[in-house]
Amino acid sequence: MATDQSKEIETLVRARYPIVYIVSWEEDRVDACLREVARRRRKRLFQWTTTNGLVEYDSRRPRQESCEPLNALDEVFASADAAIFVFKDFHPFLKDSTVVRKLRDLTYALKRSYKTLIILSPILELPPELQKDITVVDYRLPTMEEIGRQLDACVESVADDDRVDGSLTPEQHEHIVKAARGLTAIEVDNVLAKSLVERGCFDVDVILSEKEQIIRKSGILEYFRAEERFADIGGLDALKNWLRKRNDAFTERAREYGLPQPKGIMLLGVQGCGKSLTAKAVASLYRLPLLRLDVGRVFSGIIGSSEQRMRHAIQIADSIAPTVLWIDEIDKALSGTHSSTFSDAGTTSRVFATFVTWMQEKESAVFVVATANDVTNLPPELLRKGRFDEIFFVDLPSAEEREEIFRIHLAKRKRDPAEFATRELALACPGFSGAEIEQALISAMYDAFVEEREVETADVVRAIRETVPLSVTMREEIQWLRHWSETRARLASSKVTEELAGGDEGAAEARDVSETAETGE
């Protein structure tokens, strides 16, 4: 049966795309796909490696004379066959300007022939001269059906083995397949074998924890087990309602009804007001796995190019879908699209373009939650309609919301909120973020703890008084952000937050209110 990916490659071959660059770690799977394409198109299939030169697939006889890349390209040029030539691990040679020139010359010749050149490599490194001539295909990770077939083969292989229990109910089968999504075919085989050896059966937990490690090793994605619940978020009612309404948005029922797959949201706003908390709680609400993309690492030169790392992350997210992809502090990385911060502006722009195109076209059930504090450098294209479903502005909490946050954090720390004057506490800390409220509470608890007594309202008030919130030190920035958001973003909360008091005056005002709360006046 032809897979979607083999059909895609076959279309490129039929349409005489001269050079196709397939990005994949999985040579075996790509080889099988190319064999299928060659068979269907009745073409001969050759492969080139530095060790064996250019030889027909299945030929065991090396041809030393064609190990040299330029010679091999000359042979492709001269060949009269209708054929597909697969060059494996060719990317290091793309740094050689003579090879690049030869490929460009070859492009024109191949367009008028029945020959296709395929570069197969785990790393995408395209010299700018070739960017318009080469078509890039990210070879997808195994689908659910493919993993299912691998699992069936594994079950069959242990059927007569008394030491392990390979039996699975249809439900268990589905859980195992879902747990293994996002892995390459070899990794799937390895985790299945590991589970059998370690537990004597197919165990979802073994597979999930192996997967967590494998994904972490990719260097940019982290697999999170979100423990935060929606009830842990104080305030932000409009945002929570919007998200709740989309609770069933990933179901087949929603598709049948005619609703599009949600793309995701951008949360802009003041530090420490619950943006990251919301990203984690969304995953719990939708009962989906949470992947965190470390954008900073996309630009740190570990393996391959930044663009390649972004593509790889997207590929993993797509294959794990339905999932929540949390992109923390997207502003920090993308600020280089205009001026350079992490790398040259060209690289950042390409990575950004890869992301935006994916957001625009994505049909997979990957719900993106991007968070940002600084909007000054966010490229306008990112905020245009069609990228995110909605852009929310997360402001400092209102008095009512601060009270709710106090209650949440008191309860989290095994205290009964009813025993605290939460209303007074909330009034005592205008301009405080949720994170600052939490910190004030923890600090008050430490004070009481060293004195070996129970924490009380007055301790919290004292801690509040000792805190200078960011809204004082960063008053102008926050005001600017509010102003900016007025016309560009939707408010995450329907509650009105107080105007920020100015500089020292603001701190003094906060102190005054806190004294009132303490004395109960």
* Interacting residues with ligand ATP (CB under 6 A): 233-236, 271-277, 371, 373, 405, 408, 434-435, 438
Least Å distance between CB 371 and ligand ATP? 6
Least Å distance between CB 484 and ligand ATP? 16
Pairing, β 44-49 against β 83-88: parallel
Local structure of 48: helix, strand or coil: strand
CA distance 415 to 423: 16
> Which two tokens mark 420?
């605290």
Residue 5 vs 276, nearer CB to ligand ATP: 276
> Which residues have CB under 8 Å from 15's CB, separation 6+?
none
Residue 153 vs 411, nearer CB to ligand ATP: 411
- Select from 135, 55, 43 the least CA-distant residue to 87: 55
Identify the burial level of 258 via C-beta atoms within 10 angstroms of its C-beta, where 0-12 means exposed, 13-18 middle and 19 or more buried.
Answer: exposed
Residue number, nearest CB to ligand ATP: 434
- Select from 108, 185, 96 the least CA-distant residue to 146: 185
- Three-class DSSP labels, 307-342: HHHHHHHHHHHHHHCCEEEEECCHHHHHHHHCCCCC
Least Å distance between CB 330 and ligand ATP? 11
Least Å distance between CB 273 and ligand ATP? 5
- The amino acid at residue 261 is Q
Least Å distance between CB 270 and ligand ATP? 7
Taking 3-state DSSP, the helix, strand and coil percentages for the chain, each rounded to the nearest 5, stand at: 55, 15, 35
- Select from 134, 142, 10, 138 the least CA-distant residue to 84: 10
Residue 182 vs 434, nearer CB to ligand ATP: 434
Local structure of 59: helix, strand or coil: coil
Least Å distance between CB 510 and ligand ATP? 18
* Length of the chain in terms of residues written: 521
Peptide bond into 322 cis (omega under 30): yes
